Amino acid sequence: MPTGTGGGMKKLWVRHIKDALHTGFEEHIDLSDYEKAPASVREKAFLSRALAALTVQRFTELSAREAAAAVVDGTGDNGIDAIAIDSQQRKVIVVQSKWDGSGDGSLGLGDSRNFAAGFKDLLDTKFDRFNSRLRAHEEKITAALDDIDVTFILVVATTGVTELAGPSSAVFEDLLEEMNETQDVVSMEVLGLNDFHSFISEGLGGSRIDFNAQLGNWGTVSEPYEAYYGVVSAADIAGWYDRFGDRLFSQNIRKALGNTGVNESVAQTLLKDPQHFWYFNNGVTALCESVKKTPRGAATRTFGDFALTGVSIVNGAQTVASINQAAHKGENGLDEALVWVRFINLEGCPEGFATDVTRATNTQNTVETRDFVALDPEQDRLRTELALSLKKTYSIKRGEKTPSPEHGCTVVDATVALACANREPSLAVLAKSRVGGLWESTEKPPYRTLFNPGVGPYRVWRCVEVMREVDSTLEELKRQLEGRARSICLQGNRLVLHLVFRELDLQRIDDAEFDWTLELKRVPSLAKRALEALTSSVEEVHPGSYLTSLFKNRTKCRDLVQRVRAE
């Protein structure tokens, strides 16, 4: 809400949002539990639930019907009013919404505590503490929780103010500190009256975005469709977002998503290495209803001034929002940093071309650390030796066909298995939390610890066999478990694998004549025993910890291994 906005304007904005909620969600919000309630009570329930659905739409590409289906508000909701899972972005959006007719309200301490407690119960898969509306999503929620890379966005949504009172704010600060102990997996957003009014204004077809932009070292493409490209200062980019906000991304498949790891990386580059920003960032692509070169700077390609109409940034939303965020933090480097920008003129383009550009620019393959691993001669050696010694296929590059389990393995399989076989538990933790971290440099540890001239085909293949046997055993055990015990089975699987390796005879693992089947037969019972001991230690030492964070913490996992092995 702009500073100084009076009560009359607040009430007007509340009415605008109320009308928009009825228009968008009247046919979709389930109010069957309020059939006998007075009209005023029923109306407030509708508005709160519709606001939760609108919040879901703010962070996803769901339709009104789909967003309404994500609403779980009702008796026994355990503080959670809506939950939506974006499997493509590997994000879970968890919402608590409060309708406030005055425009001045905020979330109270009791509701804040309920929301935080409900979120913790959700992470521990204590579905018995939730109502049937949320349990209807149990399968999808469980699948998301099983993903080690999933992140969560907690959203407090209200038509009041965004500033939480000190005690309420402290509840969420403590929660985030606990959850993000090793890396950022949970972020927090508080949306208020101003945010929702802006959002519905955009959704109702806010005014077209027109502005002039100056491109440095610009160039042009004329066939088959017109486009201009060049560099823009990061300071100018920040100004675009100040003026237009998320409306800049009206055709993007996703909006700016808050403090993600990518966004933090963008901000860090601006802060520490602004002169190299152009080299490290993919830049921004914008579609324009028209692009006109103005006379200013006409005699040179050093800079050009362009009049843009109907602008929509279809790739680079996170870059733009992160630059703006850095600007508001007062970070230096925005004037030095240059951003690669493309303006595509849609005049003369065929129908559907804008959609094709949007989809393509958001799904093009990126270079990953695995691609650099494929350049290591040690990997080619292992491929050859696995084929000659064991008649097994070894898939190294992305895009190569993955061999069936009996016929071979991938470099990812080999990396995880070798890491967990190492006597240092931290490698097993890294294999679970961020396998790419094992490949960050092919010239030094931990990569060289795993892949070096002393590592032969029998070690690789036999370690993979053990990993697969442990995974199969844990899959069987998982079906018999629930709650935290089940989560430990899932999230602690690589630590279990490490513990199993510690019990096996690895002295002869490279010996072609050694009957490895005798060791493999021991694996299921060893895995079961390791899981039981690990579960006991976790519940004894870390009974309230968020398990995903726990199993990404090297120090705590090393301590757990020592405790289990000491028993």
Reported as a single tens digit per residue, the pLDDT across 358-367 is 767 665 545 5
> What are the phi and psi torsion angles at 493 (to 5°)?
-60, -35
Mean per-residue pLDDT, 238-261:
67
Q: Is the pLDDT of residue 241 over 90?
A: no
- E strands, 150-283, in order: 151-158, 186-191, 211-221, 227-233
When the pLDDT of each residue in the chain is averaged and rounded to a whole number, the result is 88
pLDDT band at 58 (very low <50, low <70, confident <90, very high): confident
Name the token pair of 112. 């804040």
pLDDT band at 262 (very low <50, low <70, confident <90, very high): very low
- Among 204-213, 316-325, 378-387, the minimum mean pLDDT is found in 204-213
Mean per-residue pLDDT, 405-409:
96
SS3 144: helix
pLDDT at 131: 96
What separation in angstroms does the CA of 44 have from each of 47, 101, 462, 533?
Answer: 5, 9, 62, 50
Q: Is the pLDDT of residue 3 over 50?
A: no
Q: Could you read off the pLDDT of 156-192 as tens digits, one per residue?
A: 999 999 889 999 999 999 999 988 887 788 999 999 9
Q: Is the pLDDT of residue 522 over 50?
A: yes
pLDDT band at 265 (very low <50, low <70, confident <90, very high): low
pLDDT at 339: 93
Name the token pair of 524. 């299921």
pLDDT at 90: 85
pLDDT band at 267 (very low <50, low <70, confident <90, very high): low
In terms of Cα–Cα distance, which of 372, 378, 397 is closest to 460?
378
Alpha-carbon span 143 to 83, nearest angstrom:
14
Name the CA radius of gyration of the chain, rounded: 27
Mean per-residue pLDDT, 493-503:
97
Q: Is the pLDDT of residue 346 over 60?
A: yes
pLDDT at 452: 96
Q: Is the dihedral of CA 35, 41, 44, 45 positive or negative?
A: negative
pLDDT at 6: 54
pLDDT band at 260 (very low <50, low <70, confident <90, very high): very low
Each residue of 469-497: b (16+ CB within 10 Å) or e?
Answer: bbbebbeebbeebeebbbbbbbbbbbbbb
Q: Which helix (H) or strand (E) holds 433?
A: helix 425-433
pLDDT band at 39 (very low <50, low <70, confident <90, very high): very high
pLDDT band at 413 (very low <50, low <70, confident <90, very high): very high
Q: Which helix (H) or strand (E) holds 138?
A: helix 138-145
pLDDT at 565: 93
Q: Is the pLDDT of residue 206 over 60?
A: no
Percent of the chain with pLDDT over 70: 91
pLDDT band at 441 (very low <50, low <70, confident <90, very high): confident
Q: Which helix (H) or strand (E) holds 394?
A: strand 393-395
Contact 527, 500 (CB under 8 A): yes
Helix and strand numbers (H, E) in the chain are 25, 13
> What are the phi and psi torsion angles at 55 (to 5°)?
-60, -45
| Count of beta carbons in the 10 Å neighbourhood of residue 514 | 15
Alpha-carbon span 319 to 241, nearest angstrom:
11
Contacts of 285 (CB under 8 A, 6+ apart): 313, 314, 315, 316, 341, 342, 344, 357, 361
What separation in angstroms does the CA of 270 have from each of 234, 334, 428?
Answer: 9, 7, 33
CA angle 550, 423, 533 (to 5 degrees): 50
SS3 308: strand
Q: What are the boundaries of each domain within the chain? A: 7-202, 208-363, 369-566
Residue with tokens 């020592």: 562
> What are the phi and psi torsion angles at 232 (to 5°)?
-130, 140
pLDDT band at 261 (very low <50, low <70, confident <90, very high): very low
pLDDT band at 332 (very low <50, low <70, confident <90, very high): low
pLDDT band at 407 (very low <50, low <70, confident <90, very high): very high
pLDDT at 469: 98
Alpha-carbon span 161 to 159, nearest angstrom:
7
Mean per-residue pLDDT, 65-84:
96
SS3 349: coil
pLDDT at 1: 41
Alpha-carbon span 132 to 451, nearest angstrom:
50
What separation in angstroms does the CA of 552 have from each of 149, 184, 424?
Answer: 11, 11, 14
- Among 42-46, 111-115, 208-212, 305-309, the minimum mean pLDDT is found in 208-212
Better-predicted residue by pLDDT, 434 or 70: 70
Q: Which helix (H) or strand (E) holds 408?
A: strand 408-410
pLDDT at 259: 45
